[in-house]
Amino acid sequence: MTLPCNMPSGTVNVQVELFSMARLVCGRSFLALDLPCDATLADVAHALVRACPALRGLAITTDGTGLLESYALNLNGRVFVTDTGVHLQQGDTLLLFSSQAGG
């Protein structure tokens, strides 16, 4: 996902779909976040904790700058987000779920 951001404000509104315990502790399935187009993983983590403080220590590191290894972020159901940047577009959806895949 390397398309340039086309929003004049330089920010985009994205939806975050919550799964697993993240959904249960936040009490809802979706969060709406305003993020820079070139948001880093730290930007996303900060915004998630602001929107749902209960995510700190569950999915987000206690310093609020990254994901715990037990959680993964996926962009639009296609790309797993790494710490090299997210490259968001208006209307994107981020999925937050447990990273352990098996079962």
Partner 1 sequence: MFGYHGQVLRIDLSTQQRVWEPLEEQVLHRFIGGIGLGTNLMYTSCPPGVEPFDPANPLIFVGSPLVGTRLTTSSKFAVLTKSPLTGCIGDSLSSSFMATELKKTGCDALILTGRSPFPCLLVINDDVVEFLDATPYLGLSTTATEHEIKAHLGHRTRVACIGPAGERLVRYASITNDGGRQAARTGPGAVMGSKNLKAIAVRGTRPVPVFDAKALHAIGTNLTQRSLGPATEKYRTLGTLANVAVFNRLGTLPTYNFQRSTFDEIEQVSGEALHQNHFVTNAHCANCTIGCEKILVTTDNGPKAQGRMEYESAFALGSLVGVANANTVIRASTLCDELGLDTISAGVTIAWAMECFEKGLLTLKDTGGLALRFGNDAALLACLQLIGERRGLGDLLAEGSRRASQRLGRGTEAWAMHVKGLEMPGYEPRSLKTMALGLAVSTRGACHNRSSSYEADFSSRVDRFQADVERGRLTMEGEDFSAVLDSLIWCKFLRKAFRDLYAESAAIYEHVTGWSMTAAELRQAGERINTLKKLFNIREGWRREDDTLPPRVLTETLPTGVAQGVGLTRADLDMMIQGYYSARGWTAEGLIPEQKLRELDVWDIVCTR
- Taking Cα atoms as reference points, which of 65, 86, 53, 12 lies closest to residue 95? 86
Min dist. Cβ of residue 8 to partner 1 (A): 29
- Alpha-carbon dihedral sign for residues 38, 59, 65, 30: positive
The answer to whether residue 68 forms part of the interface with partner 1 (CB under 8 A) is yes
Distance between CA 42 and CA 40 in Å, rounded? 5
* Contacts (CB under 8 A) with partner 1, residues 15-44: 17, 19-21, 23-24
Binding site for partner 1 (CB under 8 A): 17, 19-21, 23-24, 58, 68-70, 72, 74, 76-82, 95, 97-103
